[in-house]
Amino acid sequence: MTRPRSDLARLAPDGRAARQLMRSGAYNGHTAGMAPGHVQANLAILPRREADDFLRFCQRNPKPCPLLAVTEPGDPLLPALGDGLDLRSDLPRYRVWRDGDLVDEVDDIAALWRDDLVGFAIGCSFSFEEALLQAGVPLRHVAEGRNVAMYRTSLPTTPAGRFHGPMVVSMRPMKAADAIRAVQVTSRFPQVHGAPVHIGDPALIGIADLARPDFGDAVAVADDELPVFWACGVTPQSVVMAARPAFCITHAPGCMLVTDLLNHRIASF
């Protein structure tokens, strides 16, 4: 399933080309490396009743849940993120959840669409990782071809209606000078998690063992490095699952929504 990033960039040089591949059914794998320079997003789709609470949850927790765009109820199109972008067909794979349980993984959700569904596109760390690499900050999990290490923490989120739960963070090990540069670079990207939420001792945010991530793959932290932690887009997914809504659709892990937005256009200052 995993292809070299350079192949994917050739296959899908921009958001429209990436979405066309998904829509035609020609590709249903990971999107990391596709459409270089373009914003990719986490997806959550909820019935209107839960969607109102969830929108307030995102508003109150912008670091783990930076909202890029929300659909009109019942409308599967999201023109703010891409010309003709259709949430029913334009992601590689979707997960379908009923009462909080995963019940299916599919390439297309046209048959599941309802006129009370609301889609949420939430910023993803791919954008700031691209900015970090361009700034010369090495990312070990990228160099080693692994998924980033993610952890449940003791950091609270601010609840809204039925949605509540701890923040999930991603961790990248860095030398101190790179950690300082990483704060500067990622502060420019509030729409894709922004600045780190913690640096240093993992126990202070409730992480017992860096070698045992709750999601993704462990990476080594050298003696001369600091673990640097960012709020992670798995937080909204984890919070939604814990609330066990009657119905929900999300992207499958690593199979993101590829948009027409350019990373450098969402940078502040």
Q: Which residues bind its own copies (CB under 8 A)?
A: 176-177, 179-180, 183-184, 187, 195-201, 204, 224, 226, 269
Closer to its own copies at the Cβ: 102 or 204? 204
Closer to its own copies at the Cβ: 35 or 205? 205
Closer to its own copies at the Cβ: 85 or 149? 149
Q: Give the whole-angstrom CA distance, residue 61 versus residue 75.
A: 25
Minimum CB separation from its own copies for residue 167, in Å? 13
Minimum CB separation from its own copies for residue 200, in Å? 5
Minimum CB separation from its own copies for residue 153, in Å? 12
Which 8-state DSSP code applies to residue 150?
E
Closer to its own copies at the Cβ: 143 or 204? 204
Minimum CB separation from its own copies for residue 176, in Å? 5
Alpha helices, DSSP H, located in 12-166 = 15-23, 48-60, 126-134, 140-143
SS (H, E, C) 181-221: HHHHHHHCCHHHCCCCCEECCHHHHCCCCCCCCCECCCCCC
Q: Give the whole-angstrom CA distance, residue 219 versus residue 150.
A: 11
Minimum CB separation from its own copies for residue 171, in Å? 13
Residue by residue, DSSP assigns 15-48 as HHHHHHHHHTTS--S--TTSSTTEEEEEEEEEEH
Closer to its own copies at the Cβ: 1 or 177? 177
**163 half-sphere exposure, CB direction, 13 A CA radius:** 27
